[in-house]
Amino acid sequence: MYRTIRNISLLITFLIQLEIAAAQSKFLSADSDTTFWYSYNLNRVHQLKMPDLWQSDTTYQWRLWFNGQTTSYVIDSRHNEGLLTLYTQEYKNPITEELSQRIFSKSYTLGTKQLKSIDSLKEAMDIRNIPTDKQIKGWGDVMDLDGVTYVIEEADQSIYSFKSYWTPSAIHVDEAKRLKRFIEAVEKLINFKKLHEEFTQLIPFGSYNTGGSVIALKVMTAKEARKLRRERKAFHKRKINLKRRLTEISKTN
C-alpha cells in the first residue's frame, strides 16, 4: 500500500514537472539564477507591460536592468530596435514605508548606431559569458542588502538566460570590473545622465522609491499635494472597479 501511494506521488510530481517544462518555451541557461531576482524582475516586467522573455517567441532580445534606490531603468534591445525606459514607484506614506501601486515611467528610443555600439561592447568585453554573480568566486559570498543590482536578460528561439549582479563597483574580481566598465560605457552611449535628470524633473509623486533603502522626497505646494491625493484616489478606484468587473465576468463564464 505504501509503495503504491509513493509511486502515485512520484508520478504526480513527474507530471507536474512536465507541465512546468512545457509551459516554458525556452531552456534556461546553466549560468543563470532565478532564485530571487527573477520573481522580483518579473513583477516589474508586468508593471511596465513588457513581454516575458522566457515565454516569448522572440528570435533574439536582450535587456539590461538597473535596480536602483529611487529610480531604475531597463534597456530593451531587439534586432535594430531599442528603448531605454526609466521608472519609479510611488511611496504612499514614506513614514510607514507604504508603497502604492502607481508606477511612473518614460521611454526613450535608442538609435541604430547606439544599439550597434552596445552590441560591439558586449562582444569585445565578452559580457555574454559572465555567469550570474552567485557562480563567481569572491562575488556571490559578499552580497549585502545595501547597494544596487543589475540584471541581464537574453533570449533567442531556444535559450533564455537571467543573470543578476550585485553592485559591481564594490567587488574586486575580474568579472565585476569588466561589467562595471561595460555599464559605464553603455550609460555614456545612451546619454543616461542627461535623460535621468530630465526624467527626475517629470516624476509626479511626492515620494518615490524602487526598492532600495533610500526614499526620494519632493517639495510640493498644498495645491500640488491635493492634486496628487485626488489622482491617487482615482487610480485606486479604477483598480477596484476593474477587479470587481473581472470578478463578475469570471462568475458568468
DSSP 174-195: HHHHHHHHHHHHHHHHTTHHHH
Q: What is the pLDDT of residue 13?
A: 41
Element (H, E) at 224: helix 222-252
Q: Phi and psi dihedrals of 25, rounded to 5?
A: -85, -10
Query: For the whole model, what pTM was predicted?
Result: 0.76
The rounded mean pLDDT for the chain is 80
Query: What's the number of CA atoms in the CB half-sphere (13 Å) around residue 36?
Result: 8
Which pLDDT belongs to residue 98? 67
Q: What is the pLDDT of residues 60-99, one digit of tens each?
A: 999 999 988 788 999 999 878 899 999 998 877 666 666 6
Partners of 108 in beta bridges = 84
Domain ranges of the chain: 27-242
Please, are residues 64 and 148 in contact by the beta-carbon 8 Å criterion? no
28-to-11, 13, 120, 127 alpha-carbon distances in Å: 24, 20, 24, 17
pLDDT for 54 equals 93
Query: Is the distance from CB of 130 to CB of 251 less than 8 angstroms?
Result: no
* Interval 127-146 mean pLDDT: 84
pLDDT digits 0-9 by tens, 152-184: 999 999 999 999 999 999 999 999 999 999 999
Tens digit of pLDDT for each residue in 207-251?
888 766 667 766 666 666 666 666 666 655 555 555 555 555 556
